[in-house]
Structure 1
Amino acid sequence: MKKLTILICAIAFSFTFSADAQTKSKSVGKRISNTADTVALKTKTTTKKGVAKIVDKTYDGKQGPNGETVYIDNHSKYYYINAKGEKKYIAKAELKDK
């Protein structure tokens, strides 16, 4: 009877331990995924800003709605790069002074 009780406790402990290990690996995987998404977004934004600085003109003296750098493309349209790395076109009247 004592051996059976020890065996049952050992089996229950092994199931609990393996379930806990799976939970930890899922949380680590989730953190890695979130970090990878953050790095990808930052890389995208930095790349777009770098290309815009090389290809388009920078509008000195004006800024976007949240203090972003404003660029002028080859069609004389004004835009800024938002936090998601997207070009947001803006009217000249919406630009703010620096």
Structure 2
Amino acid sequence: FQKRDPIRRQDGETIVEWAARRRRIETARASRKHGEQTAPQVSRILVESRDARFAASCAQVLSSYEGHRHSSVTVVCIVGLVHVDGILERLLRSEWKSNNVTKV
């Protein structure tokens, strides 16, 4: 367990290094885990509830194409890295099973 959020700038880290590290999914995952451990209620509000809303929006768009002659539909959801895993997990658990939902 880390006392400081892993997404924060580290001692001796340049702005360029920090920006590059913030763009890595591993950093986002570590930051999410840190938030869940240090402030679970805040994490539920700021991360998990938003994941659910984003996933519902993506599923709604996918549903709107059901029955159309399109064989493949691509939905692009622009979100912060911390939300990617939660959104994908929810979509995979929903009616949009893994053969319909892929992570690029």
| Length-normalised TM-score, structure 2 | 0.31
- Of structures 1 and 2, the larger Rg is shown by 1
Instruction: Identify the structure with the greater strand proportion.
Output: 1
